[in-house]
Amino acid sequence: MLTLTAICHDYGTGLVLDRVSLTLEPGSVVALTGPSGCGKTTLLNIAAGLLEPSGGSVESGFLRAAYVFQEPRLLPWRTALDNIAFGLKALGVPAAERRNKARTLGYRMGLDDTALRQYPHQLSGGMRQRVSLGRALAVEPDLLLLDEPFSALDRSRRAELQELLLGLIAERRLAALFVTHDLAEAVRMGDELVMLSPAPSRVSDRFRPDRPPAERDDLYVYETLSALLRRTSQT
Q: Is 76 in the site for other proteins (CB under 8 A)?
A: yes
Distance, CA of 25 to CA of 1 (rounded, Å): 5
Closest CA to 109 of 88, 86, 80: 80
| CA separation, residue 194 to residues 10, 17, 190, 208 (Å) | 21, 14, 9, 9
Q: Is 62 in the site for other proteins (CB under 8 A)?
A: no
Q: Is 164 in the site for other proteins (CB under 8 A)?
A: no
Closest CA to 177 of 134, 219, 220, 136: 136
Q: What are phi and psi of 51, to 5 degrees?
A: -140, 135
* Residue among 23, 119, 142, 182 that touches other proteins (CB under 8 A): 119
Q: Is 95 in the site for other proteins (CB under 8 A)?
A: no
Q: Is 121 in the site for other proteins (CB under 8 A)?
A: yes
* Residue among 87, 106, 134, 200 that touches other proteins (CB under 8 A): 87
Minimum CB separation of residue 1 from other proteins in Å reads 21
Distance, CA of 232 to CA of 220 (rounded, Å): 18
Distance, CA of 15 to CA of 161 (rounded, Å): 34
Minimum CB separation of residue 182 from other proteins in Å reads 21
**Identity of the residue, 139 or 225, whose beta carbon is nearer to other proteins in the bound complex:** 139
The residues binding other proteins (CB under 8 A) are: 48, 50, 66-67, 69, 71, 73, 75-79, 86-87, 89-90, 118-119, 121-125, 139
